[in-house]
Structure formats: structure tokens, C-alpha cells
Amino acid sequence: MSFFCRLYVVVLLVAISSSVYSKSSVIGSVQTFLNGIKSMTALLVQIDGNLAKTAEFYLLRTNGGQLICVKYISGSYQSILVHNGVASIFDNKTKKKYDFQISQTPIFSVLSGKLDLTKEKYEILEDSRELLRIKVIGSSVFGGVDVTLVFSKYEETGNIQKLVAWIIDDGTSEILVSLDPDSIRLNCEIQETVFTPPF
């Protein structure tokens, strides 16, 4: 093997190892960020086809588990509570309740604390100074559908700042959940009364 061929191989190996390290570093930072969320509040917009819904979103992790509440402001008569892996949908118009396993509701599985990206098939769609977009492909945590996570970054450091959106793709349709960046509060105090069932 000539000197230039050997040099090319060395350069290629360095490039590959740098790429692997870079990807694992990105995934590690995402995992650390998600696991570090103890509480979160935000205003969200959920777009499913031509239907848009706005809601208040609350997340609280306690020693007793995880509590999630979604209170729709417009586009729906429902409110949603998640506790112990079960998502309960309350229809405030008919006064009926429907229960689903959290794996059937990817919108909540994103913050379930069970996502281990090192064991998932994923694709980094964008990694710029402002945004990070990661597509998690066919995860069992998300009920087998694809979910794209979108994070904002601190421009000065490039570190993850907030989870600002996720896109759920079941192969036939997409649901976009976008969080208002200015409304996002992380690790803030939330009263547990927020998670009281409406009826």
C-alpha cells in the first residue's frame, strides 16, 4: 500500500471515529436533557390534518411516578391526565372517560423517562447552532411509530435549551405538537391540584 493510500485510510478512520463520537455525544446530551426534566409547563398547539388544538401542558415527576396534564383551550372539549403509564381522556361535553396505555399516546411517551436513545434506531436530521432535530424510528416506547424531536439550542454554546416540538408519523398521517418557546418553564413549582380529574 502506497504512502498516500495509507494516509487516506488513516484520514478516513479518523473521520469515521469523529462522526461516531459526535453522534453519541449528541444523543448523550439529549438523553441527559430529557432525564433532567423534573417539571415542565407550556402552551402547545397540536395540528392533526386540518384540525388545530391549543392547550396548557403540565408535567411533574415525583417519587410516586409521573403526572401529565393537558387542558385544551380551543379545538377540543377534552382534557387529559397521565398517571402510572395510563392516559385518561376526559370528554367534558359527554362527561365520559377513556383510558389508554401511554405507549399508545406518543405525545406523552416523549417525556415518559423510558426513552433510551442509545438503544433506538434514530437519524439526526439537523444539528445546527440553533436547532437539533432527531428522528426516532419505530420505537417501542412510542408504540412503534416514528417520532421526530425538535430542540432549540443556546446560540452561544450550542447546548440544548428546550424541547420545542415533536412530530408523530404512523406511516399514514402526521401529528405536529409545537410548544410556544416563550411559555416553556422547566423545573418549576407545580401544584399537584393541577392533576385533579375534572369529574
Is the pLDDT at 37 greater than 80? The verdict is yes
pLDDT reported for residue 102: 62
| Local confidence band at 14 (pLDDT 50, 70, 90 cut-offs) | very low
Asked if 70 contacts 53 with a C-beta cutoff of 8 angstroms, the reply is no
- Please report the sign of the dihedral spanned by the C-alpha atoms of residue 174, residue 179, residue 185, residue 186: positive
Query: What pLDDT is recorded for position 3?
Result: 38
CATH of 3-195, one of 2.50.20.10, 3.10.450.40, 3.30.413.10, 3.90.105.10: 2.50.20.10
Residues 4-31 have a mean pLDDT of 51
- The angle subtended at Cα 124 by Cα 120 and Cα 130, nearest 5°, is 130
pLDDT (average), residues 142-171 = 89
**Mean per-residue pLDDT over the chain, rounded:** 80
Domain ranges of the chain: 3-195
How far is residue 13's CA from residue 40's CA, in Å, rounded to a whole number? Answer: 42
Lowest pLDDT segment from 22-26, 45-49, 55-59? 22-26
What are the backbone angles phi and psi of residue 172, rounded to the nearest 5°?
Answer: -120, -25
Give the pTM: 0.81
Could you report the per-residue pLDDT of 55-72, keeping only the tens digit for each?
A: 999 988 887 777 888 899
Exposed e or buried b per residue across 32-62, where buried means at least 16 C-beta atoms within 10 angstroms of its C-beta: ebbeeeebbbbbbbbeeeeeebebbbbbbbe
